[in-house]
């Protein structure tokens, strides 16, 4: 049996998309010195409101916008607690995650009067897929790269835009300097607080898009804990990708590969309990390789510094 079909590679990209959004959020956050472990919770809340928004308005685009707005609002709330009230950001993120898990179910029960999932997204409310003319007709490549969700293409475009933001704009310069030496930034009149809010806010919007992808494309509606750790995997992808947008994208694809492999193997009839750990084993292996690689680089750096 051949696992590595065009379908398989297509599914890697599809599965990697929400991880990619969250990874970019984590990349920007870490550059700005903010470890946002609340991405998971933000994605869950956005997933819920994305599907509700689309259903209420009858328009997928409104759903997507609502998901982004909810992501932004939650991120700013986190910022308020962490920056203004000086709570520990890890605890604040944990609270956001708990709200994302329990709070969404609570809201759904209130709104729908008892149901614990929303199968609200019909074909017309789904985020549209796009067939790219020309690309589509190329054998193999067309089947893998064409026909993805609009958000998938946006996600890969955002990899580039994130890089531009971080390295080519004054805002990115401020984000990086606040993340690395906030005193240096404030000593030349950069408002550290403002930059931190912007940093976490951008992350919230990106995570919101990842959440929308989950409930409005990956699945046809919301169900509890549907994000299933993607927000955390994104943090690992951020670190594996060396904190850079392109590296983060590659790492997200590695995780996409691992999950796609898990799905594929279980489809062949292997006991699902054996298959379930595959993505996590890949995660651990990848992190080990990453760590070893980092250590080698550091050593090299020291060696050149000593010369």
Q: How many CA atoms lie within 13 A of 297 on its CB side?
A: 7
- Residue 264 as a binder of another protein (CB under 8 A): the answer is no
Least Å distance, CB 201 to another protein, is: 18
Report how far residue 69's alpha carbon sits from residue 74's, in angstroms, rounded to the nearest whole number: 9
Residue 30 or 40: the one with the smaller Cβ distance to another protein is 30
Span 205-234, contacts to another protein by CB under 8 A: none
Q: Pick the piece of the chain touching another protein (CB under 8 A) from 67-75, 123-131, 171-179, 281-289.
A: 171-179
- Residue 298 as a binder of another protein (CB under 8 A): the answer is no
User: Which of 14, 148, 176, 196 is the binder for another protein (CB under 8 A)?
Assistant: 176
Report how far residue 178's alpha carbon sits from residue 170's, in angstroms, rounded to the nearest whole number: 12
- Residue 184 as a binder of another protein (CB under 8 A): the answer is yes
- Residue 174 as a binder of another protein (CB under 8 A): the answer is yes
Could you give the C-alpha distances from 67 to 9, 186, 200, in angstroms and in order? 28, 33, 16
- Residue 181 as a binder of another protein (CB under 8 A): the answer is yes
Least Å distance, CB 165 to another protein, is: 10
- Residue 185 as a binder of another protein (CB under 8 A): the answer is yes
- Residue 169 as a binder of another protein (CB under 8 A): the answer is yes
DSSP string for 179-237: HH-HHHHHHTT--HHHHHHHHHHHHHHHHHHHHHHIIIIISSSEETTTTTTHHHHHHHH
Listed in sequence order, the residues at least 6 apart from 153 whose beta carbon sits closer than 8 Å to its beta carbon are: 130
Report how far residue 141's alpha carbon sits from residue 188's, in angstroms, rounded to the nearest whole number: 50
Binding-site size for another protein (CB under 8 A) equals 18
Residue 232's closest CA among 44, 27, 23?
23
Residues 112-151, one symbol each (x = binds another protein by CB under 8 A, - = not), give ----------------------------------------
Listed in sequence order, the residues at least 6 apart from 134 whose beta carbon sits closer than 8 Å to its beta carbon are: none
User: Which of 177, 223, 239, 283 is the binder for another protein (CB under 8 A)?
Assistant: 177
- Residue 85 as a binder of another protein (CB under 8 A): the answer is no
Residue 211's closest CA among 25, 55, 42, 16?
42
Least Å distance, CB 174 to another protein, is: 7
DSSP letter assigned to residue 117: E
Residue 112 or 191: the one with the smaller Cβ distance to another protein is 191
C-beta neighbour count of 252 within 10 angstroms = 32
Least Å distance, CB 177 to another protein, is: 4
Q: Pick the piece of the chain touching another protein (CB under 8 A) from 133-141, 169-177, 262-270, 282-290.
A: 169-177
Token output for 174: 């401020």
Least Å distance, CB 209 to another protein, is: 22
Token output for 138: 């190329």
Residues that bind another protein (CB under 8 A): 164, 168-170, 172-174, 176-177, 180-181, 183-185, 187-190
């Amino acid at each position: 049996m051949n696992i590595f079909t065009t379908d398989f590679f297509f599914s890697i990209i599809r599965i990697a998309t929400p991880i990619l959004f969250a990874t970019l959020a984590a990349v920007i956050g870490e550059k700005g010195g903010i470890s946002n472990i609340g991405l998971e919770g933000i994605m869950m809340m956005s997933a819920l409101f994305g599907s509700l928004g689309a259903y209420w308005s009858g328009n997928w685009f409104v759903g997507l916008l609502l998901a982004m707005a909810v992501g932004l609002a939650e991120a700013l709330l986190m910022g308020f607690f962490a920056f203004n009230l000086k709570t520990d950001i890890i605890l604040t993120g944990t609270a956001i995650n708990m709200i994302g898990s329990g709070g969404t179910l609570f809201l759904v029960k209130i709104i729908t009067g008892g149901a614990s999932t929303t199968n609200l997204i019909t074909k017309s409310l789904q985020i549209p897929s796009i067939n790219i003319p020309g690309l589509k007709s190329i054998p193999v490549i067309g089947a893998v790269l064409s026909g993805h969700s609009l958000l998938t293409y946006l996600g890969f475009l955002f990899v580039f835009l994130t890089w531009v933001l971080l390295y080519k704009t004054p805002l990115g310069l401020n984000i990086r300097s606040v993340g690395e030496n906030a005193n240096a930034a404030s000593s030349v009149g950069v408002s550290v607080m403002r930059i931190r809010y912007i940093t976490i806010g951008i992350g919230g919007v990106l995570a919101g898009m990842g959440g929308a992808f989950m409930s409005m494309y990956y699945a046809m509606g919301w169900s509890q804990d549907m994000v299933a750790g993607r927000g955390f995997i994104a943090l690992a992808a951020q670190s594996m990708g060396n904190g850079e947008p392109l590296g983060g994208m590659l790492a997200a694809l590695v995780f996409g590969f691992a999950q796609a492999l898990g799905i594929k193997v279980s489809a062949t009839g292997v006991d699902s309990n054996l298959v379930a750990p595959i993505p996590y084993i890949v995660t651990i292996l990848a992190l080990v390789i990453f760590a070893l690689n980092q250590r080698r680089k550091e050593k090299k750096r020291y060696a050149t510094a000593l010369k």
